[in-house]
Amino acid sequence: MNFPIQEIWIDTEAADASLTKNIVRKFPQAKVIETDQKNASRLMRELELAADPFSRGKKILRLIRHRGVFVKPCPGTPEYVCCGLKILHVGQGCPMDCRYCALQAYFNRPVLELFVNVEDLFSDLTQYLKQNGDTFQRLCTGEFTDSLALDNLTGLAPRLVEFFASVPNASLEIKTKTDAIDPLLDVDPKGRVIMAFSVNARGITRRDELRAAPLQKRLEAALRTQKKGYLLAFHFDPIVPLQGWYEEYSSTVDSIFRTVDSSRIAWISLGVLRFVAGLKEVAEARFGKIPYFHDGFLRGLDGKCRLHADRRIEVYSRVADRIRRHAPDARIYLCMESPHVWKKSLGIDMQHDRDLEAYLNSALQKEVRPNQGGTSCKKFLPEPHLKNF
């Protein structure tokens, strides 16, 4: 997939990197601007004052050296059960443009940023895995960007697959809405890499996921990677329960199971639309009125706008039922939900982060069983009263 890049900003410190030179060569038409700290801030301020900084920023590529750590915990919240995923930070911003995208409300730098000090990433990653050698680590590259949308520029994903294929205590999840998987097909993942596709109701993929691959293309890409030894994952996130949602999501579920071998699906996550206050305004300023942001949202325990727990439970139970019709033992999990919602919708006692970690790790390590290691999935919290769990 090629996305239009009109400008490339190169930070002084990144100018000599070989990756920088390779990337610049790929965009002979782009305006190249070398930036130090001062004029990068000025350019950013000018961009913020543009009519739609996000649309403009998606055509600007900024090449920098990342100075912080490359491995970070996923930004979960203590109020809900978190899966303990670690983020491998490869860059931020995304050239696709989903109307509901949370990044619109998170970043004050609306450009696409790629880190050119890839060798630092590998040494940070090696160090991290060494320091945490006694526990199994699940890492993912697709949190602050799409894992593959800009990978044709960096060639990082196949290198990471090779790296993780030889690591005993970790797995990598590559998460995408593209079908740009060709470079991954020549690398043997050795059961350590999960190719994850974000999926949705077809209507949402067409209307709301601008420049992403059509659903059928994602599923075909899933099949091709599965045939090459990758485990698969599917993320239904965000589920948007508009009128007719059940039929639409059922159709997507059925298409998945018609296309791929269900025994090679590591997990399927479900997450009903939730968002930080402020996203609605940013998104509607860009796209006009978006009906699903005007549903009955309440503040959740994490301060985000969430639908009432009873509605989320209904959505999760019905989608999970549909999945289980095809694969009764499917490892379904909820993204950032309470033990109450877990129990009521999936019938699973999921009390703690470590329970969920063990549940997902068991997909990758045959010897690890959910709830091992002193976890306490048997307990269950009292029924909630007034709070929107």
Binding site residues, ligand SF4, CB under 6 A: 94, 96-98, 101, 103, 146, 177, 212
Paired strand residues for 254 = none
* C-beta of 187 vs 212, nearer to ligand SF4: 212
272 DSSP 8-state letter: E
* C-beta of 97 vs 173, nearer to ligand SF4: 97
Neighbours of 185 (CB within 10 A): 14
Residue 294 Cβ vs ligand SF4, minimum distance, rounded to whole Å: 20
Exposed, middle or buried: residue 129 (CB in 10 Å: 0-12, 13-18, 19+)?
A: buried
* C-beta of 237 vs 337, nearer to ligand SF4: 237
* C-beta of 138 vs 177, nearer to ligand SF4: 177
Residue 115 Cβ vs ligand SF4, minimum distance, rounded to whole Å: 16
Residue 153 Cβ vs ligand SF4, minimum distance, rounded to whole Å: 15
Residue 97 Cβ vs ligand SF4, minimum distance, rounded to whole Å: 5
Q: State the alpha helices, DSSP H only, in 177-261.
A: 202-208, 215-227, 245-259
* C-beta of 64 vs 94, nearer to ligand SF4: 94
Residue 109 Cβ vs ligand SF4, minimum distance, rounded to whole Å: 14
Between CA 116 and CA 101 the distance in angstroms is 25
Residue 96 Cβ vs ligand SF4, minimum distance, rounded to whole Å: 4
* C-beta of 273 vs 356, nearer to ligand SF4: 273
Residue 312 in tokens = 């989320």
Residue 216 Cβ vs ligand SF4, minimum distance, rounded to whole Å: 17
Between CA 98 and CA 235 the distance in angstroms is 15
Q: Which residue has the tokens 């890499």?
A: 193
**Residue-by-residue DSSP string for 122-180:** HHHHHHHHHHTTTS-EEEES-SSS-TTTTHHHH-HHHHHHHHHHT-TTEEEEEEESS--
Residue count of the chain: 389
Q: State the alpha helices, DSSP H only, in 59-117.
A: 103-106
* C-beta of 3 vs 80, nearer to ligand SF4: 3
Closest CA to 61 of 22, 87, 100: 22
